[in-house]
Amino acid sequence: MSTGAGQGSRPRWLLLHAAAVFAFLYLPIAVLILYSFNRQGVGGFPPRHLTLDWYRLLFADAAIWDSVFNSLQVAFAAMAISLALGIPAGLALDRAQFPGKSLFRRLVLLPLILPGIITGLSLLMMFNLSGTRLGLLTIVLGHGTALISVATTEVFAGLQKLDRAQEEASLDLGASYWQTFWRITLPNLKLPIIGAALLIFTLSMDEIAVSFFLIGRDNTLPLEIWGRLRRGITPEINAISSIIFFFSLIAIVLWYRLRIRAQGSAELGTELLDISEADA
Amino acid sequence: MFSRAYKIIVTVPPVLWVAVFLLLPYLLMFCYSFWSVSPAQTIVHSWNIGNYKELLLKSVYWETLLRSMFIAARVTLFSLLLGYPLAYFLSFHAGPRKDLLYQLVIIPLWVSYLVRAYAWKTILGSDGVLNTLLQYAHLTNHPLDFLLYSPFAVVLTLTHIYTPFAFLPIYAALEHIPRNLVEASHDLGANPARTFWRVIFPLSIPGVVAGATFAFVLSLGDFLAPLLLGGPSGIMISNIVVSLFGAAYNWPLGAAISLGMLLIVVSLLFLSERLEKKWSFS
């Protein structure tokens, strides 16, 4: 910018800055993975005596695997809820007018922008007053509700790209709304829906702020890790964290590919604005 | 083109669900904040403003709120300082690698909060990676203990977590700037600095506002990073709420603080929406 370079040539400080930011974003994760192989413990430079012992310990750790199983159950159930409500919500925002629409849109998106503690506590108060016992079910309801926003934004963005003429033709040719939905609308939304499902699943597996307040006796994986962190840290936690990182990485790269195919671009941050301007 | 029945079917279930599981809980939080706790540790469902009086009168709440806002403000500033030039670089100078680099920013955004906060804990601790590295290199002969359990650790970790959040809308705004505007500015003789400050930056302001709002709001309400890395001096307002809902057992007071946070957050969102509209170019 101030180096007098024209467009196309890269001012050197920008390049250095970008490299530094990437280092800042990735170095901690690299350190975490490296030390999961360190016999001496989580600190100590340089890392010495690389070992797989911590992974062996991890694979024999029944409490961790119980919590992984709990988290998987929660994530699948939350995904089902978020999609079952988020897809119609996207359709409603795109094509229906109803009183309170703008309030509804804001409420759906709120958990994505609001600190998790507020969503978690407000649900806790409701479950408490209604006498619902806390457990995996309450976490499912919390995640399912908070992540409707993900399905809604992805579906809404997909609908904006959808060619209405196809649906019109289907209806004109005598198909019912139900047939048109299953044969035209839904297949056209396939990629955004798969993308949303993947993202909801990953976010639910990782979620901790809402679950923190809705937990009963059974831990989810992040809460199991959290509990251990308070007692002291061992490279076993590095090992499970590295595995989580690896799986998140796969899910996110897949989601990204799907999104590029579905939307032509993966730009996030715009559809939040798109939805808020939809009824303007 | 869609029938009334179609619209009702897609509208009613999500609206009802959101009313029950989002709107109702927020309203309950509002009710709770006017209730109180009896000496026998039960919740008294009679209405009074005692909780709000206590919040206004006791300085510990104000001080913690201010400290939280100060931490969130620092996180926001650093996230913008890291995120803006990165977004600018990707949008204007990254060439064919743009897509890959963008993906590299997105990945940490969705990768476990806990994994990243934990990584910093292992780096900053007194036996942590950084301290042992410094001692190994003979840059210090005793561990630096201000690294962990301090506001510094919280700000650093939250900046790491929220920089991609700040980056996203800025990048989106930069990508939406018509490139012929930039060319026109060059053709009319403006140098790159002038083009940046007079054309590009003003058009990216809505993205900056949105990014700053994300970073500020999310870090303001954080309670996990302070618990894990903050120590006594890094306590934030949400930590007080957590303890009121836990050991201190005063849900109504906790609800009053949460409601205050909700009000701050919602008014910031409202304000930023206004600012984005005002500055958006169309």
DSSP string, B56-118: HH-HHHHHHHHHHHHHHHHHHHHHHHHHHHHHHIIIII-GGGHHHHHHHHHHHHHS-HHHHHH
Residues of the domain holding A39? 10-51
B223·A6 Cβ contact <8 A: no
Which residues pair with residue B44 across a beta bridge?
A: B36
Backbone angles phi, psi at B37, to 5 degrees: -110, 135
Residue A21 in any domain: the answer is yes
Neighbours of A17 (CB within 10 A): 18
Give the angle subtended at the CA of A66 by the CAs of B120 and A40, to the nearest 5°. Answer: 40
Q: Which of A121, A181, A219 to mutate to test the interface with B (most CBs of B within 10 A)?
A: A121
CA distance A135 to A117: 17
The verdict on residue A150 lying in a domain is yes
The verdict on A31 and A68 lying in the same domain is no
Question: What predicted TM-score, i.e. pTM, was given to this entire model?
Answer: 0.89
Find how far residue B27's CA is from the centre of its chain: 23
State the smallest CA–CA distance between residue B162 and chain A in angstroms.
10
Specify which residues A50 forms β-bridges with: A38
CATH number of the structural domain spanning residue A95? 1.10.3720.10
Contact A239, A36 (CB under 8 A): yes
Distance CA(B237)–CA(B257), nearest Å, equals: 8
Q: Per the structure, how many domains does chain B have? A: 1
**Using CB atoms, which residue from A24, A114, A125 is nearest to B160?**
A24
In a 3-state reduction of DSSP, which class is residue A225?
helix
Answer yes or no: do A35 and A81 share one domain: no
Q: What angle (nearest 5°) sits at the alpha carbon of residue B267, between those of residues B261 and B270? A: 140
Reply yes or no on whether the pLDDT at A252 is more than 80: yes
pLDDT, tens digit, for every residue of A207-244? 999 999 999 999 999 999 999 988 778 888 889 999 98
- Has residue A279 got a pLDDT over 80? no
For B2-44, give the secondary structure using H, E and C.
CCHHHHHHHHHHHHHHHHHHHHHHHHHHHHHCCCEECCCCCEE
**Digit-coded pLDDT (tens) for B21-65:** 999 999 999 999 999 888 888 888 889 898 999 998 999 999 999
**Alpha-carbon gap, residue A223 to A229, rounded angstroms:** 10
**Rounded Cα gap, residues B101 and B206, in angstroms:** 23
Helix, strand, coil content of chain B in percent (nearest 5) = 80, 0, 20
Q: How confident is the model at residue B231 (pLDDT cuts 50, 70, 90)?
A: confident
Q: Assign A9 a pLDDT band (cuts: 50, 70, 90).
A: low
Mapped onto helix, strand or coil, the DSSP state of residue A168 is helix
- Determine how many CB atoms are found less than 10 A away from the CB of residue A135: 15
Number of domains in chain A: 2
Is A250 in CB contact (< 8 Å) with chain B?
A: no
CB contact under 8 A, B22 and A108: yes
What are B36's strand-pairing partners? B44
Give the pLDDT band (50/70/90) at residue A274. very low
CATH number at residue B254: 1.10.3720.10
In a domain, B100, yes or no: yes
User: Based on the domain organization, do A116 and A147 belong to the same domain?
Assistant: yes
Interface of A with B in 260-279 (CB under 8 A): 260, 265-270, 272-273, 276
Helix (H) or strand (E) holding A178: helix A177-180
Whole-angstrom distance, CA of residue A262 vs CA of residue A188: 9
3-state secondary structure at position A50: strand
Count of all residues that appear for chain A in the document: 280
Distance CA A116, CA B241 (A): 13
The tokens describing B127, both together, are 């036996």
Distance from C-alpha of A221 to C-alpha of A227, rounded to nearest angstrom: 10
Does residue A4 lie within any of the structural domains?
no
In a domain, B40, yes or no: no
Q: What's the pLDDT score for residue A277? A: 44
> Is A1 inside a domain boundary?
no
> CA B266 to CA B55: how far, in whole Å?
20
Same domain? For A65 and A44 the reply is no
Q: What is the mean pLDDT of chain A?
A: 86
Write out pLDDT tens, residues B198-216.
Answer: 999 999 999 999 999 999 9
Q: Taking 60 as the threshold, does the pLDDT of residue B280 lie above it? A: yes
Residue carrying structure tokens 């359709």: A91
SS3 A64: helix
| Mean pLDDT of all residues belonging to chain B | 90
Let me know if residue B41 belongs to a domain.
no
Q: Is the residue at B215 inside a domain?
A: yes
Burial A100-115 (b: 16+ CB within 10 A, else e): ebeebbbbbbbbbbbb
- The verdict on residue A5 lying in a domain is no
Which H helix or E strand runs over B278? helix B251-279
Domain annotation covers residue A179 = yes
- pLDDT band of residue B5 (cuts 50, 70, 90) is confident
Nearest to B220 by CA among B27, B62, B76, B55: B76
Please tell me whether residues A260 and A140 are part of one structural domain.
yes
Pair (A18, A154) in one structural domain: no
User: What's the domain range around B71?
Assistant: 58-278
What is the token pair recorded at A85? 């409500």
Q: Are residues A137 and A161 in the same domain?
A: yes
| Phi, psi dihedrals of residue A134, rounded to the nearest 5° | -70, 145
- A45 and A167 part of one domain: no
Over pLDDT 70: what percentage of chain B?
Answer: 99
Q: Would you place residue A268 in the very low, low, confident or very high pLDDT band (cuts 50, 70, 90)?
A: low
Question: Which residues 130-149 on chain A approach chain B with CB closer than 8 angstroms?
Answer: 141, 145, 148
Closest-CA distance of chain A to residue B146, Å = 17
Going by C-beta distance under 8 Å and a sequence separation of 6 or more, which residues neighbour residue A96? B2, B7, B10, B11
CA gap B221, A36 in Å, rounded:
31
ipTM at complex level: 0.90
Residue A201 within a domain: yes
List the single residue in A125, A255, A276 with the smallest CB-CB distance to B32.
Answer: A125
- Has residue B135 got a pLDDT over 90? no
> Which residue in A21, A111, A260 is closest to B82 by CB distance?
A21
| Inter-chain touch B218–A115, beta carbons under 8 Å | yes
Whether residues A250 and A135 fall in one domain? yes
Q: Quick one: A20 and A134 in the same domain?
A: no
Residues A154 and A39 grouped into a single domain: no
The answer to whether the CB atoms of A42 and B116 lie below 8 A apart is no
> How many other CB atoms are found less than 10 A from the CB of residue B27?
14
Q: Is A96 on the interface with B (CB under 8 A)?
A: yes
B132 to A222: CB separation less than 8 angstroms, yes or no = no
DSSP letter at B234? G
* Residue B203, domain member (yes or no): yes
A149 and A265, same domain (yes or no): yes
